[in-house]
Amino acid sequence: MYGGGNTFEGFKSDSITQEDPAKLAEFEARISRGEKIEPTDWMPQLYRKQLIRMIEQHAHSEIIGALPEGTWITRAPGFKRKMALMAKVQDEVGHAQLLYSAAETLGKPREQMIDDLINGKSKYSNVFNYPTFTWADCCFISWLVDAGAIVNQLANAKGSYGPYCRALDRICAEESFHLKYGHHCVIHLAAGTQKQRDMFQEALNRWWPPMMHFFGPSDKISTHTEVLMRWKVKMGTNDDMRNQFLDMYVPKIWELGFTIPDQNLKKNTETGRWEYTEPDWDEFKRVINGDGPCNKERLAVRRIAEERGKWVREALKVPKSTYVTPLA
Ligand code: BYC
């Protein structure tokens, strides 16, 4: 899946103006022809830096994203739901492995990425800093967070960096199962008792603001969109992705008889764009910078996992000296 090696020599300067103009022009021509950039190809330092940032954050989001649903494996209603949820959570961790490998092709070692996650230096998706109080929270994530992720990932799978695109193709195939599973869970609640419907409505009310944040700050205030769109790492702006999600899923939510907690939400038929109350970007900033309801808990769990797994990683480094002949 991934090309071997890379030409990474550390960041001397990530300013585009410091790059060799001829190399930069050829690189941009390749991108505009729709060619994939591979790890051993020449690339501007800023392209490499941005990709590492984005792929690494994506990997962290998958691994931390396994936690809010993971806590429901023991409490999932019934054996089939338990098995499906277990498989889903396992898939999310697998996605993180694919993404860490893709980020490694750009020269940042996995150990450093994990260190940056558990020390709070790197970001991960805002949504996973909220608690899953009820089974309906878990259903919301499986259906709608996965739906949002697919909207973003299907677009970016057509982007310019080969290893990231190939990882996204594989991830999207698995996510589409998650989405179907999540939709099935929500339909079950919608068609159930009043108590079940209320439980999902209550979850939806709590999750809607973080879901609107999920696609990133509005285009007016997004820092990285311009350069990422220029180099086809992002194939749509944050507002485009949010709009596409609303287009696809608001009708489905309404169809099931649920309401969305935003009185201003409506589609403008002239522009084809959804109008909504401006999300609270101060809350978003607080949450992504470590001060959400569950940030500390999420990182503490990862820190413990890292410490407990240390002996395995050490043993794998010296397989011969630690090999023990099985007794039976
Ligand atoms: N959460 O300039 P902007 C999944 C940060 S998991 C946290 O617009 P960009 C799943 C951003 O990093 C899949 N931080 O950024 C798993 C930047 O901060 P820094 C999740 C966010 O990169 C388990 C600052 O805000 N998907 O599917 O152009 C169970 C300015 O933002 C967020 C991905 O990770 C956020 N939501 O665009 C279930 C997709 N949004 O770095 C499901 C890959 C923004 O300057 N990532 N920030 O300190 C992307 O597509 C883009 O990075 C984003 C943001 C659209 C998220």
| φ, ψ dihedrals at 122, nearest 5° | -100, 155
- Residue 321, pLDDT score: 67
Per cent of the chain over pLDDT 90 is 89
User: What is the CA(79)–ligand 1 centre distance, in A?
Assistant: 34
Nearest atom in ligand 1 to the alpha carbon of residue 65 is 23
Per residue in 206-238, pLDDT (tens digit) is 999 999 999 999 999 999 999 999 999 999 999
122 lines ligand 1 (CB under 6 A): no
Burial class for 24, CB neighbours closer than 10 Å (0-12, 13-18, 19+): middle
Per residue in 255-272, pLDDT (tens digit) is 999 999 999 999 999 999
Q: What's the rounded Cα separation, in Å, for the pair 310 and 35?
A: 40
What integer is the mean pLDDT of 38-52?
97
Per cent of the chain over pLDDT 70 is 94
Q: The pTM is what? A: 0.94
User: What is the CA(215)–ligand 1 centre distance, in A?
Assistant: 7
53 lines ligand 1 (CB under 6 A): yes
- Residue 4, pLDDT score: 46
Q: How does residue 322 score in pLDDT terms, banded at 50, 70 and 90?
A: low
3-state SS string over 145-205? HHHHHHHHHHHHCCCCEHHHHHHHHHHHHHHHHHHHHHHHHHHHHHCCCHHHHHHHHHHHH
225 lines ligand 1 (CB under 6 A): yes
Residue nearest to atom 11 of ligand 1 (CA): 216
Per residue in 78-113, pLDDT (tens digit) is 999 999 999 999 999 999 999 999 999 999 999 999
